[in-house]
Chain A
């Protein structure tokens, strides 16, 4: 399953809201996760099952979608949110990641 993530780069200001899209080449039901990558830190699972917040994920993060189209939304960006984000499908092997979205401060 190919995962197409967009945009690859996004610049936004603290307080703004942003969305990242992830499209699967065929249906993956809701078997999708979102991760945050920051330098020097272990990758962090934010959301699994497309919309279930992992324990410890702030409520300003939300995930939606099922089948082939998925979205990660971050409301009211905070400085700690500027990072790289990846989606990943868990529906079938081989497991596949999106290409990543780098979120930078405008």
Chain B
């Protein structure tokens, strides 16, 4: 199982960014997937989960209405569209396979700063 995040970087407050997670080594279509983040020197925070078909999504209150999780099962890829970014969204973002988060990527750093 391999999960590889990409798309992080430095972005100004109020702007948008889209993260990607490329999955391999398992049948992507069989699994819910999730995004988890960790602000610098802070703990883990669940961000969003998407069902295996993509028909159901769940969000943390802190990102609801600003972030959208999606997936492309044909490409075994997970996405996180982040809009109206705030400084408090600065974190390393991890994708995880949502069976008890048994597998995690190495993360991609998002820095929101002017």
Contacts and interface: CB of A to CB of B under 8 A. Distances in A.
A64 to B, nearest CB: 17
Nearest to A49: B100
Given A42-B106, A43-B94, A95-B49, A86 B44 contact: yes
Interface string B91-103: 0001010001111
A20 to B, nearest CB: 14
Interface residue SS majority, chain B: strand
B43 A97 contact: yes
Contact of B101 (A45, A93, A99): A45
Interface residues of A, number: 21
Nearest to B101: A45
A33 B105 contact: no
Interface of B: 34, 43-46, 49, 58-61, 94, 96, 100-106
